[in-house]
Amino acid sequence: MHEKHRKELLEEARSIGREICLEKGEVSIEDVRPLLTIPDHIDKRVLGSVFRGPDWEFVRYQTGTRASCHHRAIAVFHLVDHKQMELDL
């Protein structure tokens, strides 16, 4: 039962990430997290997999701004344009 909830949370987070990325050109988990409600029964570390997969490409690291992350480096991503990749082949 909880696995389904994690999957739905990740899908929602990725959808939010896509919207932000289309608007700003790039996105980090710090952009997504404030717009997401994480149920108490879900380990917040699951958000580490939001930008895994073929749709996302790492851009750079930036210093985290949330106090709980102790200013650790966080990754910034952008969406991969699969159509452009096919044209380049």
pLDDT in tens, 13-68: 999 999 999 999 999 999 999 999 998 888 888 999 999 999 999 999 999 887 77
Which residue bears the tokens 């749709």? Answer: 55
- pLDDT value at 82 more than 60: no
DSSP code, position 41? T
Choose among 70, 71, 25, 20: nearest CA to 50.
20
pLDDT, residue 2, reads: 54
Q: What is the pTM of this model?
A: 0.81
Domain that holds residue 67: 2-88
Choose among 3, 65, 80, 70: nearest CA to 29.
65
The number of folded domains in the chain is 1
